[in-house]
Chains A and B, each alone.
Chain A
Amino acid sequence: MDFVSGLRCRECGRAYPAEALHVCDFCFGPLEVTYDYERVAATMTRERIASGPRSIWRYADLLPVSDPAPVDLGAGFTPLIRADRLAAELGLGELWIKDDTANPTGSFKDRVVSVALTKARQLGFKIAACASTGNLANSVAAHAARAGMESVVLIPHDLEAAKVTMTSVYGGRVIAVEGSYDDVNRLCAELTSEQPSWAFVNVNVRTYYAEGSKTLAFEVAEQLGWEAPDHVVVPIGSGSQLTKVAKGFDELWKVGLLDEEPSVRVSGAQAEGCSPVATAFADGTDAIRPVKPNTIAKSLAIGNPADGWYALDAIRKSGGSCASVTDDEVIEGIRLLARTEGVFAETAGGVTIATLAKLAAQGVIRSDERVVAMVTGHGLKTVEALSGVVGPTASIAPTLEAFAEAIGEDFETVGGPTTGSAR
């Protein structure tokens, strides 16, 4: 049994039943799931969570659907890694990486899709669909296969090769659209009116789908021993994830799972070639001006972000910041994270790390803060970005001489097992 009390328009407050609705019939504002928090508080305890599955479903009491057998590939409960070497490079103190590359299809999208398709199946949908910059496509195709649902995935024609393969392999329909992600998104928004029997996870099921991102906050708090961090850095595509991470910490407090009221500064990360939210933040305005994206961070290349305004609002209310970084900085961010912590992130992760570095250098993120950076997708999805940037140190014949020459005399062994030690 879930604890959903209904849906409510974030703009005008009109109430709706918990059905396949995503925008207010009156003002087109986004609908938000509302819960009976008193009942959640009476049920949801740290012990109950600890005895749950090692996935997002351990937090089912704060998710918009309850199902003993959800559409599940094991999304969530990904590692929270203490990042001391990266912190030292950036002049920070306590830094953690939320490593969402470890999800079943390699990105945080598994969290939202598992929730969306579980709810879609409950509502009676047989076909899963989406507009995607790639990560969502991977996840919808995989989870639909897992659930025995048909899938129709629409993507821009110029996606990274791995993301196309990682979607097509599951056997659903994959439609490459000649246009940008915003074109694909507009097409899907129109298709929703023509194909009301399809569950477009990020259109007509978006209200439920978006709730899955709260589990990032839930996990971070649980993994920190039921404490909230001081500062989180979250990449911004549509702005939904950032908004829901902020909501997640608030909800934990509301239902009594935290001892101290959280005061989490939430900062947003964008690529310079698609930075409508960072631009509005810098300009001090509420108006998000749509842009035509041009960046290697394709998973964040949303020029007209649906939740941009709410993300901006969450950032400002929390005392956070929002910045953008160049494509070169994105690549440096990917390499820095890999080199210091052994985590290989996709371009969106490079955006997060580069923004973390920038805000740390500016003193916006402080060394006395406990900081968590959300690394939301695996580097294997966007290897093109590193083509010609990294590669073999040398190519040699299989001889000791060639190896010695390639490795160089000045390459020192930095220690090893002590001779004569007990081994």
Chain B
Amino acid sequence: MSVTVRIPTQLRTLTGGSGQVSVEGSTVGEVLKALDGAHAGFGERLFDDGGDLRRFVNVFLADEDVRFLEGLATPVADGQTLSIVPAVAGG
């Protein structure tokens, strides 16, 4: 299952400047782990010590916050887009 992941400015140092990358995975969690495998450093930036998404990291699957879906266990389909977005915005 190939998924496109959109990378925010703050993390583009890990992707050599790329704003999006393609990785494999069948759930949101698997995709993000594969991202860490392909570009070392994503894991510690996205996850806290307990393995959950950090408080200020939002992840959207097809523009829906994964916390309204099944979180890291949310299944992803081939060709979908996952966005990593800093949570601190707005208001």
Contacts and interface: CB of A to CB of B under 8 A. Distances in A.
Nearest to B56: A28
Interface string B16-43: 0001000000000000000000000000
A186 B57 CA distance: 12
A27 B83 CA distance: 16
Contacts of B83: 186, 190
A206 B83 CA distance: 21
B90 A190 contact: no
A203 B90 contact: yes
Contact of B65 (A190, A202, A290): A290
B46 to A, nearest CB: 9
A290 B8 contact: no
A202 B90 contact: yes
Given A190-B6, A190-B8, A28 B91 contact: no
B63 A183 contact: yes
A290 B90 contact: no
A134 interface: no
Interface stretch (A79-87, A113-121, A298-306, A322-330): A298-306
A237 B65 CA distance: 18
A181 B55 contact: no
Contacts of B63: 183, 186
Interface in A121-135: 131
A240 B45 contact: no
B52 to A, nearest CB: 11
Given A23-B56, A28-B57, A206 B45 contact: no
A80 to B, nearest CB: 24
Nearest to B83: A190
Contacts of A309: 55
A206 B89 contact: yes
Interface string A170-190: 000000000001110110111
A181 B90 CA distance: 9
Nearest to A31: B88
A395 interface: no
A30 interface: yes
Nearest to B45: A26
B6 to A, nearest CB: 7
Contacts of B72: none
A2 interface: no
A22 interface: yes
A22 B88 contact: yes
A312 B9 CA distance: 29
Contacts of A307: 88, 91
B87 interface: yes
B71 to A, nearest CB: 12
Contacts of A91: none
Contacts of B85: 186, 189-190
Contacts of B10: 23-25, 28
Interface string B43-80: 00100000000111110100101011000000000000
Contact of A27 (B19, B56, B65): B56
Given A27-B56, A30-B56, A196-B9, A188 B89 contact: yes
A22 B87 CA distance: 11
A112 to B, nearest CB: 10
A305 B88 contact: no
A189 B68 contact: no
Interface string A261-302: 000000000000000000000000000011010000000001
Given A186-B60, A189-B85, A237 B8 contact: no
A30 B83 CA distance: 19
A185 B90 contact: yes
Nearest to B44: A26
A104 interface: no
Contacts of A202: 89-91
A28 B7 CA distance: 13
A11 B91 CA distance: 19
Contacts of B55: 11, 29, 309
B30 to A, nearest CB: 21
B88 A29 contact: yes
6 contacts: A28-B56, A29-B88, A189-B86, A190-B8, A190-B83, A192-B8
Interface of A: 11, 22-30, 131, 181-183, 185-186, 188-190, 192-194, 196, 200, 202-203, 206, 237-241, 289-290, 292, 302, 304-307, 309
Interface of B: 6-10, 12-13, 19, 45, 54-58, 60, 63, 65, 67-68, 83, 85-91
Closest 3 CB pairs of A and B: A238-B91, A185-B90, A28-B56
